[in-house]
Chain A
Amino acid sequence: MSEDKRKNDIDEGQDDGTTKESRRDFLKKMGVAAAVTTVAPAATAATTKAASIAEHLQTHFEMMSDSQKEAAIARLEKRYSEQFEKQVTVANTPAPDEVLFGYALNISKCIGCRRCVEACVRENNQSRDPAIQWIRVLQMERGNDTFELENWHKGSPSSSRIGDYGVQSGGHADKAVGISGHTDHYYEPEQVPEENAFYFPVQCQQCEDPACVRACPVQATYRDPNGIVVIDYNWCIGCRMCQLACPYWARRFNWSEPALPNEEMNPKTHYLGNRPRMRGVMEKCTFCLQRVRDGRYPACVEACPVGARKFGNLLDPESEVRKILATKKVFRFKEDFNTEPKFFYYMD
């Protein structure tokens, strides 16, 4: 269902109605794109070029002076506003004091509707094609499908001198223990939740000891004062060592120039958060930095129709996440990697 739907979406979106682009169209579009980025009027072309060079030569965001930051943000606001044909703001809201952000997700409540995924895409200006999504919802089967009555006498190895008392379920010589669980990323039933399924959404776990931050050769990704792992998209060199290091598959790479329709672009952005990215850089969940530094809940928290997502200040004992840590059955995903996530899963 979804493949066809997706195709239709794209097809209808094209004004010429063709389903497959010819090479010439492609080149034409490339040309148009180039023209847009360099801006048509000759008078502004020089200043745009200067701004582009300045953007190329700017230093790491945390190493800029205040005036440099202002200049960098002004450049970006101008570029984005022209590109998306609306007033775009790039904020530099500082991190609030005495706050350590934490997240808790109730896996006994999650119904796998993927609204968090879609909300995230709308909030954070992800590329629509190729589609980049920061949250991945896994569907898992309840129970263990390897326990079956008709197999009870069939051990593995199937015969030995002392009888067929080999391994009967879970792991055996051909199937490793621990790989019996059934995960599906691409489920698309009519309705969720499905019987005999539970759901496990995964996004950046905002680790306290992040493997990605350690791996970055230029410190383009780093932990902000609130414990959010952020990326300076203008400093990232696109080497993808962070993506390789992440045990949670939380990072996404801009394999091409991201495509973001003007009317869907969220004009309220933050330098370290949801401002539009460029080709060849890494991006990932920032707990909606542009929102949480302004006091708002992340978009995924607000989108979840069942209230499975909780967010707050880990340093405030009265906060929702701290109360969950105190009263619920909580675990972290892949604790053996010792990355100390601030993203907690819990059950009622």
Chain B
Amino acid sequence: MISPKKYVRATVFYGFFAVVTSGLVLQDMPSQATTPEDKSGAKECYESIKGATELVKKDNVVPKYGYPNVKCSPTTGAVLWYGDPYDDTEPMGDMPTFGDHTDGDFAQAVIRTRTKHLKTIIQNGTKCSGCHPAADATTQKNDPRELMMHQDIVSNATKLQHGRGAIWCFDCHNAANRDTLVDHKGQEISLNEPYKLCGSCHGVTYSEWRMGLHGKRTGEWRVGGKKRWWTCTECHNPHTVQEHRFQPIAPELPPALPRGMTKDDFKGASGHGGH
């Protein structure tokens, strides 16, 4: 038999080591979660096109849940989440009949008032007609010339790629009323309703958009439910659409790497992309 004294000594010895090891173990613990501050404090953010679809974050638009109208990305300033998908919208109103079964879904459709968000208008603080009164209809259709201004919108107006040389500014912009658009029949169209103009050339896309296949909608998922329909120029810039159908944007941050892995481990890694 082991003597009691020895037994006690051995126990103390082992106990000491156990405590030391436990201490080491504690040091090995992963750092506990820290909660970063809410960085989504960005006030101005954009939807699809940076520079053309900006909107302002408003707090407590839905008081029941304390929702803002939108939540914005702290890293890219993109609108990520809609507290109120109908914020700042107006009813779509009557739509031309189209001769297919998409008719009749517009009763609850809403669109965002584009004129409130167009940078050119906002910066000037006045409507287009403030600088270009109707009397100033000096230019005719199909008479391309260098622009004196608005080069930021169209850098070389004589080589407008949209329509591949077949059309020019006043094929779409209403020379008689610069605050509106115009179609090839001379019909005046609101800047808020570009689909009535675009659809006259892009028929297939237009019909898919009416069906809900092309473009984006927010709101209710039910057929005929209240939805915000995103209009053509909220995603496409007609002046540069040949360059980029959709203007490239900054992506959100990549996901965290698996614990213990470094970026180098994935460099040039080729996984199998499924079946």
Residues of A within 8 A of B (CB): 2-3, 5-6, 9-10, 12-14, 20-21, 23, 26, 29-30, 86, 89, 111-115, 117-119, 122-123, 127-131, 133, 136, 138, 140, 178-193, 200, 256-261, 263-264, 266-268, 292, 295-297, 299, 301-307, 310-313, 316, 318-320, 323-324, 327-328, 333-336
Give the contacting residue for A320; candidates B64, B211, B275; CB below 8 A. Answer: B211
B266 at interface by CB-CB < 8 Å: yes
Q: How far is the CA of A190 from the CA of B75 in the complex (A)?
A: 12
**A336, B254: Cα distance in complex, Å:** 29
Q: Would you call A113 and B36 a contact (CB within 8 A)?
A: no
Would you call B81 an interface residue if the criterion is a C-beta within 8 Å of the partner chain's C-beta atoms?
yes
Decide yes or no whether B230 CB sits under 8 A from chain A. Answer: yes
Q: Which residues of B contact A292 (CB under 8 A)?
A: 221
Assess whether B212 is in contact with A130, with CB atoms less than 8 Å apart: no
The answer to whether B255 touches A186, judged by C-beta atoms less than 8 angstroms apart, is yes
Instruction: Name B234's closest neighbour in chain A (CB-CB).
Output: A305
B112 to chain A, nearest CB (A): 13
Q: A12-B36, A113-B251, A311-B221 are in contact. Are A179 and B272 (CB under 8 A)?
A: yes
Q: Look across to chain A and name the residue whose beta carbon is closest to the beta carbon of B247.
A: A191
CB of B253 closer than 8 Å to a CB of A:
yes
Flag B252-275 by CB within 8 Å of A: 1 or 0 each.
111111010001001001111111
Cβ-based interface call for B15 (8 A)? no
Q: Report the interface size for chain B: residues with CB under 8 A from the other chain.
A: 68
Beyond contacts A200-B273, A261-B36: 13 other A-B pairs, Cβ-Cβ < 8 A, are: A29-B32, A89-B65, A118-B73, A140-B273, A181-B271, A185-B254, A185-B255, A186-B255, A188-B253, A261-B37, A302-B85, A305-B235, A306-B246
Q: Judge whether B35 and A13 touch: CB under 8 Å.
A: yes
Which residue, B216, B225, B230, B269, has most C-beta atoms of chain A within 10 A? Answer: B216
DSSP class of B's interface residues: helix, strand, loop or mixed? loop
Q: Give the distance in Å from the alpha carbon of A185 to the alpha carbon of B270 in the complex.
A: 11
How close is A105's CB to chain B, nearest CB, in angstroms? 13
Nearest B residue (CB) for A114? B252
Contact with A along B214-234 (1 / 0, CB 8 A): 111111111101000010000
Residues of chain A within 8 A of B101, CB atoms compared:
318
Chain A residue contacts of B230, Cβ below 8 A: 307
Q: Which residues of B contact A183 (CB under 8 A)?
A: 270-273
Q: Which residues of B contact A296 (CB under 8 A)?
A: 85, 219-221
Q: Which of A131, A258, A263, A323 touches B256 (beta carbons < 8 Å)?
A: A131
CB distance from B220 to the nearest CB of A (A): 5
Is B82 in contact with chain A by the CB < 8 A criterion?
yes
- Tell me the bound Cα distance from A296 to B270 in angstroms: 38
CB of A12 within 8 A of CB of B271, answer: no
| Interchain CB contact under 8 A, B220 and A295 | yes
Whether A320 contacts B212 by the Cβ 8 Å rule is yes
Could you list 23 examples of A-B contacts with CB < 8 Å?
A10-B34, A114-B251, A118-B252, A128-B36, A130-B33, A133-B255, A178-B272, A185-B266, A186-B266, A192-B250, A259-B35, A261-B35, A261-B36, A263-B38, A297-B85, A303-B80, A307-B230, A307-B235, A310-B213, A312-B222, A313-B223, A327-B213, A335-B275
- Residues of B within 8 Å of A130, CB to CB, are 33, 256, 259
Taking a contact as CB atoms closer than 8 A, the residue among B37, B65, B212 that contacts A323 in the complex is B212
Most buried by B among A133, A296, A301, A307: A307
